Structure 1
């Protein structure tokens, strides 16, 4: 069996804090689960010292979650292991930046083509692509942008 690289050893104060956190019921389920992971993987004398897979089965999470929580505890401390990491960047850059939004609003306020009564979202999306403001945009993005503007 391979040796664990990140071994959780809790002090008495940390163990008391985690026990209180799991019993209080005032925290999110994710935070309580992380506290339980640390309590069950504690390798100090008198600690349960469970294996990752056993902890994962008992708490209903993945064994990689247990590994990551142990690693964050050892490298960053108890507060980092319990907290949710803030996202540093959005998952995707926005399709319409400020200049493209301004072009969209100007286009929506302009005269409609082909004697139409009003612009449709699909027509606006197609026109933005035709004018090479963006390479591709969905009508839903156009709707959300216009809703945000009004």
Structure 2
């Protein structure tokens, strides 16, 4: 595992620590010498050895990532919240403003009681994902020349010609 194959760097590092701490091959160097040779801290050595003992000597369980104890926290943004936010962004901006900005939307979302408080970056991500046209929409109307195709690097590749 430490010499062939494609593994994560942390997995390889934990495998090397286990090999260095293996007492079945003879005497083991001091923890300071092992840490210096492997380029890890003494705390890493302690944690890998502790996890090896906790898993009952299961090497794979020690080396692999640990499973989460708790499930991930569900997002406060549901379909209804997203729809209300999009409707707010498509409505007329407040008096004195020419258009909605993300920070202005953030302030107005905080005033609405049944929508959870969202930061402007989350609002921007919701609006970008919710209102972005699908690739089919962009390619269905190439003759209009109103949309540009983006390349893999995000740069513009130019207008689509009507023949497409």
Matched, 1:60 2:54: no
* TM-score, scaled to structure 1: 0.69
Is the contact between residue 41 and residue 48 of structure 1 (CA under 8 Å) also seen in structure 2?
Answer: no
1:92-111 correspondence to structure 2 within 5 Å: 94=75, 96-98=76-78, 99-111=80-92
1:93, 1:63 → 2: CA distance?
Answer: 37
2:108 to 113, 122, 127: 127
- Corresponding residue for residue 153 of structure 2: none
Gaps of 5+ in 2: 132-164
Structure 1 residues 81 and 116, CA gap change in structure 2 (3 angstroms): same
- CA positional deviation for 1:93: 6.1
**What does the per-residue CA deviation read over 1:63-91, in whole Å, with 9 as the maximum and x for residues that have no partner?**
2221221122232211111112244444x
> What residue in structure 2 maps to residue 31 of structure 1?
11
In structure 1, runs of 5+ residues without a counterpart are: 1-20
1:70 alignment counterpart: 49
- SS of residue paired to 1:31: helix
Give RMSD over aligned pairs: 2.4
Contact kept? 1:72, 1:81, Cα under 8 Å:
yes
Bigger helix fraction:
1
Larger radius of gyration: 2
| Aligned counterparts of 1:113 and 1:39: Cα–Cα separation in 2 | 66
User: Structure 1 residues 48 and 28 mapped into 2: Cα distance closer, same or farther (>3 Å)?
Assistant: farther
Whether the 8 Å contact between 1:40 and 1:48 is mirrored in structure 2 is no
Work out whether residues 40 and 47 of structure 1, in 8 Å CA contact, stay in contact via their aligned partners in 2.
no
The alignment partner of 1:84 has SS state of: coil
Structure ranking higher in strand proportion? 2
**Structure with more relative contact order (C-alpha pairs < 8 Å, separation 6 or more):** 1
